[in-house]
Structures are given as structure tokens and as C-alpha cells.
Structure 1
Amino acid sequence: MSRSLASILLTIITVGLGHSIGLHRGIIHRAYRCSRFTRGALAYCFVHSGLGGPLSWVRVHYYRDYWQNRSDCPAYFRYDHSMLRDYGWNLHLALRPADETRYAIPPEDLHDPWLRFLERTWYWHVLAGAGLIWAFFSFEAMIVCVCLRISVTILGHWFVGFVSHKYGYARYDIDRAAEHGYNNFVLGALSFGEGFHNNHHAHPSSAKMGTEWYELDLGWHLITVLRRLGLVWDVQVAGPATQKPQARPRTYRWRWPWQE
């Protein structure tokens, strides 16, 4: 029981604070401001999620956003294919664009010394963490808190991304975009708000992904804690200032697997 609780706590720190808050909403979308120390600490938490290097994820996110907001989006970034194919593409392949400059990735991110260091060494930090847990606790604790947790994180991240682009409800249409995303009550709650993808597509720079009372965005609650501690400020919230110009509210549109 204690190992499971420890694994859940590590998931909150690495996936909640590290991935959703630190990397996605903070570094990529700049949904709030913080000190360089806080930014670096959250990026380090992301590394221990086991998802990979921070700059690799920054690059992929900019590639995906660029193409999904166009009508000529290639198949790799569309979601009109099967789950099996998406599993193969997203967990076993990598995109290497011929010209990265077209994606307008901020140079201050690409050349950030700390992010570059973590990009080169992320797996050593994960292995060191595994070794410390093994040494101070037990081999079984290491398996649960590192190996099992990272396996669930990797598969869960892919699954939430796939489902949130295929099924659920949407309240926004985005003109000329190949992908609008969908919202999912359960996945949104389990993924610190990342499952409310239609909201995120419409309000990409908003720190709050769950925009209705029934959309449980645990990531937003973590940001609220950080703000009260004075670690983040100038937090952006869903509204006209954060909404894409081409995003238009509409009557709920639902799509479920049986409608394929």
C-alpha cells in the first residue's frame, strides 16, 4: 500500500507538476510567469516522468500545433486512423523535419542551458532515482515507483492524447484546423486536465483547461497552490485574451467510438 501511495505521489510531482504544469502550460504555452529557478525545477520534475527530454517534447508540440491548425495536416498528426496505427506511430516513430525554422520554436527555449543539459542527460537522472529508491528502500519499491509508474505514464499519455482527439464532446470549432480535439470527463480528471483537449485547442495559452464546473482540472488546482505560494504569477485563464482568433463557440458536438 505504501509503495502504491508513493508511486501516486511521484506521479503528481512528475506528471502533474512536471509535465502538465511545468512543461506544457509553462514552458510551451507560457500560461503563467515564474522565476528561472521554478521553471528549471518543474522541468526537472518532468524529466523524472520518464517521458523523455524536455526539448524533444517542446519540438514535437510545436510541430503538432503547426500542422493541426492547418487544413493540409499530414496523416501523422491527424486522428482519422486506428488506435493500433496511432500506437505504432506515436510510441515507436519520431518526426525529423527538413526545416525546423518554419515551426517558430522560441530560440530562448532551444538554447536554454538547463533544458539542453536535461535533454542530453534525462535518462541518467531517471536511472539515478531508481538506484536511490532501490538502495534506501527495496527492489520492489523501485519496480513500483519507477518502472511501473513510468510504463503507466508513457502508455497513459499516449492513450489520453489519442482518445482526446477522437472521442468526447466539443464546444469549439477552429476554422481551417484539421484537428479540434474533444473533451472527456474521466480522462480530463485523471490527466490533470490534459483530457479537456477541445478547450485547450481553443484556449492554448490558458492555464485552466477545465472551463466548466463539471470539468475537474487537477492541474489548475496545482497552479492555484503554486500561485498562493508566490511561485507563479500573471496566470492566464480561458477567455477572449487566451482564445485563438479562429476558435468559434458552438453547440456541443459529441463523438463516440460507435459513431465511427
Structure 2
Amino acid sequence: MHDHDPCAVNSLIETPGCDPSAHRVVWDPAHSLWNGGMLFVALAFGGMTVSLGAMAIFVLMTGATLLLGHSVGFHRRLIHGSFDCPLWLERTLAWVGTIVGMSGPFWMIRTHDLRDWAQRQPECHDYLAHRRPMAIDALWQMHCRLELDHPPAFDMGRIGRDPFYRFLERTWMVQQIPVAAALWWLGGWGFVVWGVCARVSISVVGHWFVGHLAHRRGPQTWLVREAGVQAHDVPWAAIPTMGEAWHNNHHAYPGSARIGLYRGQSDWGFRFIQALERLGLAWDVRTPEAMDERRTALLEARR
């Protein structure tokens, strides 16, 4: 990546004429079949395989993978670089992020950064703004992709050249196989259905649902100047998203490792990063207190 600005979209390069509004939405067969298949297995076989053990596996694995992998590993470390850590730990967190089952690390970075960049422009396509009704937005986000007529370029720098991340990107679906094998050995097919299929489904659907709400309604503390899309907090989802649901805060300070900024705002992702910091495994943890320049881009909103 380029010289890192924690509040910039660091993997994206604006090319001449790039435009987030000229577009077409097309079917994405790989993600559509994956997401649909996981949901089908969960719905078709979840009821006949449910048990206390399977439910415990589902809850524990969903929470652990969302916390360590999606929130801390993918979002706060790889995408925003909001803290530094040893490479072995970064790779471990990224592997857990891949196990969440949404996609590989490069797809996650590109998808996030394209949306982030587009929402900062005066205008962007409804796909990137979650403007369409819920059913259409769900179909678009989980089964389709946006092809821009004039897209920006991407340069992921060190992350894009890392052989381990390239491996994860090629094999992100296959990474569920060793997890499924271990779960089958521990508890049979019920553990596989609930520990893989139901877990992946709730993670994918939940990620879309909270993202949809976070761009439609809810409390706001800040508005970002000149941005065509503003964000809202989704307070009820703070715990299941590990703090990611304070999305208005995140739009205000995207490079902050702390997303739950105010009293009473639960943020388990930041608490985990603080624990790593106390163990000497995280450093240069970025928070809004060190982002004075960012405040010039913000307007205080009426809550």
C-alpha cells in the first residue's frame, strides 16, 4: 500500500475518469452459490441435527471468528491498519477471518475499499450506498457484484504480495474443510451443520443486514463533509458485531482501532486489541485522540 494514512482508502488508486455511479449489477456465481448453499444446508438440516453441543459450537465459533478474524484481523488490521502486530499474528488473524466464510482477504479489502471510496464521493451507485429496499439490497449484496464502467485501480502493496494471503485468496472456500473435519470428529454431522454452514450463513446474512441498517437509519454523532453517503449507529448489534455496529463513529474515524467511542458503547474488538497491547503483541494502536486533522472533515450531527 502507499504511505499509510489511517483514515484514507489506502489500497485504492483513483484513475482518470473513475466513477462510482456508472455501473451494471451482475450475478456473482461463486459467492451466490456459496452463500445460497450454506443457507440451504443450514435450513434443511439444522432442525434435525440441533443439540446443546451443536448450539454451543455455533455460538462460540461464530463469536470467536467474528471477533478475531472479521473485526480485528480483516477490518481493523488488514483493511485500516489501525494497529501494528507481529506478522505471524496478523496472518493468524487473517486465517480466522477467512474461516468466517465471506470470502478471501483480497476480495474483502477490494469490496470494502471500493464501497468506502464511493461513499465519500458526492454521488455513488445504490449498490454501494445500500439505498434499495431490503429485499433487493440482500439479493445484490449476497448474490451479485457491481461492475463499474470506469473503476479505480487497486494496489494492496505488501499484503497483495504476501504468499500466505495469496494462498488464502485462492483457497478461501477450501479452508472450511479442515474445520468441518475437526468438527465431525468432535461431534458428528450436527457439529458440521451448525459449526460451518449455520455459522457461515449467520455471519454473511448478519454482515449484510447490519450494513444495510447502518446506511439507512439510526443515531448519528458525526457527518462527513462532502460525502454522498452518511452512516448510522446500530446500537442493538454492538455485541454480536464486536463493536463494528457503531458505524457512524467508524465513518468519522475510519482508521481508529476503537469504534465504540463513547460511554456505554460496547466494543469487544478494541478490548481484544488492548489485551494484545498489554501482552506486547500490538502497538501503535490508533484512536481519535491522535487524529486532529481528521476532525476538519467532520460536522457534528444532531443525535
TM-score by length of 2: 0.78
Q: How far is the alpha carbon of 1:44 from its aligned partner?
A: 0.5
Q: Is the 8 A contact 2:138 2:208 kept in 1?
A: yes
Aligned position for 1:118: 168
Distance 1:78 1:130 in 2: 35
Structure 1 residue identity aligned to 2:194: V
2:294 corresponds to 1:244: yes
Q: Is the 8 A contact 1:204 1:244 kept in 2?
A: no
Summarize deviations over 1:60-88 as a string: whole Å, max 9, x none: 11111111000021222123321111101
The verdict on how the C-alpha distance between 1:242 and 1:194 changes in structure 2, with shifts beyond 3 A counting, is: farther
Superposed counterparts of 1:83-98, under 5 Å? 83-97=134-148
Q: How far is the alpha carbon of 1:96 from its aligned partner?
A: 4.1
Aligned position for 2:106: 55
Aligned position for 1:157: 207
Structure 2 unaligned runs (5+)?
Answer: 1-51
Structure 1 unaligned runs (5+)?
Answer: 254-260
Once the two structures are overlaid, the 10-residue window that deviates more, 201-210 or 140-149, is: 140-149
Distance 1:105 1:199 in 2: 26
2:198 corresponds to 1:148: yes
The verdict on how the C-alpha distance between 1:176 and 1:69 changes in structure 2, with shifts beyond 3 A counting, is: same
Q: Is the 8 A contact 1:187 1:195 kept in 2?
A: yes
Look up the SS of the partner of 1:37 in the other structure.
helix
Look up the SS of the partner of 2:219 in the other structure.
strand
Q: Is the 8 A contact 2:63 2:240 kept in 1?
A: no
Superposed counterparts of 1:38-53, under 5 Å? 38-53=89-104
Distance 1:214 1:208 in 2: 13
Paired residue total: 252
Summarize deviations over 1:191-220 as a string: whole Å, max 9, x none: 111111110001000001001112111111
Look up the SS of the partner of 2:274 in the other structure.
helix
Aligned position for 1:174: 224
Aligned position for 1:107: 157
Aligned position for 1:74: 125
Once the two structures are overlaid, the 10-residue window that deviates more, 104-113 or 128-137, is: 104-113
Q: Report percent identity of matched pairs.
A: 31
- Give the RMSD, CA atoms, in angstroms: 1.8
Distance 1:70 1:99 in 2: 14
Aligned position for 1:30: 81
Q: How far is the alpha carbon of 1:103 from its aligned partner?
A: 4.8
